[in-house]
Amino acid sequence: MKTLLLLRHAKSSWKDPTLRDFDRPLNKRGKKACKIMARYFTDAGIRPDFVLCSAATRALATLQGVRDAFDPEVTVAVEDGLYHASAGTMLGRLQDVPDDVGTVMMIGHNPAMEDFAEALADGTMAALEGDMRAKFPTAALAALMTPIERWADAAPGGFRLVSFVCPRDVEAH
């Protein structure tokens, strides 16, 4: 059994119009959302074995904002290719993850994050998938599980969406 955690980066700032999109930092709301989600990860026992993170500033800041909830020894790969990646590119990268990794977290951007989660979901959790399709907000986490033993076998429709959590859901509890 393998677990895939798809975390969309937290809310970024548009305050400085001279910054390239790649270089935009988190805004105040994004930093708060990271704290909320880090608390959720700790409370829910979410501890990835391997993290794949976009090299964009806002994705790295999101990783930094939730990192304390993970094992300090977790392997992190920061990759330019996850910035503006397509769902297909994300699937290809996932298929290259070593098979001894049980839980992978990918931190990236929309629309790819939402498209990827939708493509992987097998349709058995229609209401939850509907919530995710309606809106995959910043700092939201989709958790998907699959019975495969090798990441190379990851395929569209081969994962069950087991949870979809947004910062506002955590904050409400």
The one-digit pLDDT tens for each residue of the chain (173 residues) are 999 999 999 999 998 888 898 999 999 999 999 999 999 999 999 999 999 999 999 999 999 999 999 999 999 999 999 999 999 999 999 999 999 999 999 999 999 999 999 999 998 888 888 888 888 999 999 999 999 999 999 999 999 999 999 999 887 66
First-residue to last-residue Cα distance in the chain? 29
Query: Taking the model in full, what pTM does it have?
Result: 0.95
Determine the pLDDT at residue 70. 95
What CA–CA distances, in Å, run from 75 to 30, 35, 38, 116, 134? Answer: 24, 21, 17, 22, 32
Domains of the chain from N-terminus onward: 2-171 (3.40.50.1240)
